[in-house]
Structure 1
Amino acid sequence: MWSWERKINKSAKALRTEPPKKVRIIGGVWRSRLLTVLDLPGLRPTTDRIRETLFNWLGQDLTDLSCLDLFAGTGALGFEAASRGADVVVLLEKDKKAHASLMSNFSALQSSPVTGKVEILQRDSLEFLKQQADRSCNLIFIDPPFQDSSLLDRTVMEAGRICDDARGGGIYVEFPSNRPIEEIEALLPDWHCGKYLEADQVKACLFRGGRG
C-alpha cells in the first residue's frame, strides 16, 4: 500500500473514532458535568464563555424562577438554569435525535439531583409558546438555528407576551453577529436590552421588562 493511501486510511479511521464533542455546566449542583454535543445541522451550543457571562448577568441563584429553554439542542442553557436552583425548567427540542440526546444527558446528571422540576419535551418551540398564557414564565432562552431569521423574529415577539421578569429573569436572545441589534430590539418594544455581548460570530442580549 502506498504511503499516501495509508495516511488517508489513518485519517478516515481517526474521524470514525473521534469522541463526541462536549460542553460543561459552569455552576451550581451540576458544576463541571459534561454534556454530549451531537453533530447535527443547525445545532450550535452556547459557548462556555457566553454562558458564563449570561449567568453572571442573571445571578448564581435562580430559585423560584420558571424557565423555558427553546430550541434546546444540547440543553446547556436549561440544564445550567436547573443546576442553579430554578424552580421549573422546560426544555423544548423538536428534532428526534437531539431530543434523545437531551434525555441521555439529563439521565447522566441524575446522580446529583436538583431541587427543581426539569421537563424535556419533543415539541416545536414556537407552537409551544403560542399555547402559553400571558406572563406565565420568568426566564426564556432563545437560541434558534440562525439560518431561519423569521423563526427567530416570531419567537422573540411571542416571548415578549408570556415572559414576566418582575422576580428576575428576562428574555435571552442569541442572534447572528451580522444582524443589527436594533432589529431585535424592535421586536420587543416594551422591553430593553439590559445586557449585551458579542463573541464568536454571535450577538447576545438579555432583555429586561419595565415591570421589575
Structure 2
Amino acid sequence: MINRRQAKKSKVATANPVKMGAANVKIIAGQWRGRVLRFPEVDGLRPTGNRIRETLFNWLAPSLPGSRCLDAFSGSGALGFEALSRGAASLTMLEPDRIANQHLHNNMKLLGASDCKIWAVRAEQWLAIPATESFDIVFIDPPFTLDLWPGVLTQLEQNGWLATNAYIYIETPKHYALHTPAHWQLQRSKQAGQVTFSLYQRGSD
C-alpha cells in the first residue's frame, strides 16, 4: 500500500528528453481529431485499436461530456486522451513505466491538455487506499499476461473510487472468465480478434 506522499505526480525530464517512439495512434474525434499520439515499444503496452475505440466511444457518447475519467493502465494514452478530446472534464492517468510515462507527458503538452494529471504509479497501488476522489468513467486495459483484473476491480469498488452509476470499461483476452461485483450491470460487450471489450455500469449495492 502507498500514500499520496509516495505517489508523486511525475515530472517531465528536461535535460535528457526521451525520444518519441516509432509507433503511433490517432485520435478519432473531438477537439483533437486527427492528432497523432506517439508511444514507445514497451512490454505489455497494447494500444486499443481504432475500431474498438470507435465502438466504445459511441457507447459512452451520452455520458462522456463533463465526466471525470480514470485511465488506470494508460500505456499509449489512446483511451484517456480520446475521452478528453470528446468532452470529458478531467482525466487521471496511471503509468509506472518511465519511458511510457514520459511519452504521456509529451502528448499532454502537444495537445495542451490542461485537465490531465499523470501519475507514475501502478494501478493496483493507487487503488489500494481509500479514495480521495471518485470517477464517472474508468478504463481498465491492463497487460494481459499479469491477470490484474480481479484485484483491481475489487479495489475500485471497495475503496470508493467509483461515482454512483459510474461506467467501467474493461478489455480482456477473448476467453477470459471475468468476475465483477454483483451490482455491476453489463451494458455492452463485443469481441475483436482475440480481445473481448465490455462496458459495465455500477448499480446500487
Deviations 1:155-203 (A, max 9, x none): 122223421253xx50000011131xxx32x332110211101003111
- Residues 38 and 109 (structure 1), Cα distance of their counterparts in 2 relative to 1, 3 Å cut: same
Query: 2:74 corresponds to which residue?
Result: 72
| Contact 1:82–1:88 (Cα < 8 Å) also in 2 | yes
- Does 1:190 pair with 2:164? no
What code does the residue aligned with 1:86 have? A
Greater helix share, structure number: 1
Larger radius of gyration: 1
- Does 1:102 pair with 2:95? no
- Residues 200 and 105 (structure 1), Cα distance of their counterparts in 2 relative to 1, 3 Å cut: farther
| Contact 1:28–1:60 (Cα < 8 Å) also in 2 | no
In structure 2, which of residues 173, 177, 190 is the aligned counterpart of residue 176 of structure 1?
Answer: 173
Post-superposition offset of 1:23: 0.7
Q: Number of residue pairs matched?
A: 182
Deviations 1:90-143 (A, max 9, x none): 011000011011111111112xx57xx111111111111122428811110000
In structure 2, which of residues 91, 95, 114 is the aligned counterpart of residue 93 of structure 1?
Answer: 95
- Residues 158 and 173 (structure 1), Cα distance of their counterparts in 2 relative to 1, 3 Å cut: same
Query: 2:120 corresponds to which residue?
Result: 122
- Does 1:142 pair with 2:140? yes
What code does the residue aligned with 1:121 have? W
Deviations 1:10-29 (A, max 9, x none): xxxxxxxxx81211111111
- Residues 195 and 134 (structure 1), Cα distance of their counterparts in 2 relative to 1, 3 Å cut: farther
* CA RMSD, 1 decimal: 1.9
Which whole-Å CA distance do the structure 2 matches of 1:141 and 1:107 have between them? 22
| Relative contact order higher in (CA < 8 Å, ≥ 6 apart) | 2
Deviating beyond 3 angstroms after TM superposition, the runs of 4 or more aligned structure 1 residues are: none
Query: 1:163 corresponds to which residue?
Result: 162
**TM-score by structure 1 length?**
0.79
- Does 1:202 pair with 2:199? no
- Pick which of 89-98 and 153-162 moved more: 153-162
- Residues 50 and 165 (structure 1), Cα distance of their counterparts in 2 relative to 1, 3 Å cut: farther
Which whole-Å CA distance do the structure 1 matches of 2:45 and 2:117 have between them? 20
| Contact 1:27–1:60 (Cα < 8 Å) also in 2 | no
| Contact 1:42–1:146 (Cα < 8 Å) also in 2 | yes
What code does the residue aligned with 2:184 have? W
Identity, % of aligned pairs?
Answer: 37
Query: 1:12 corresponds to which residue?
Result: none
Deviations 1:77-101 (A, max 9, x none): 1101111121110011000011011
**TM-score by structure 2 length?**
0.82
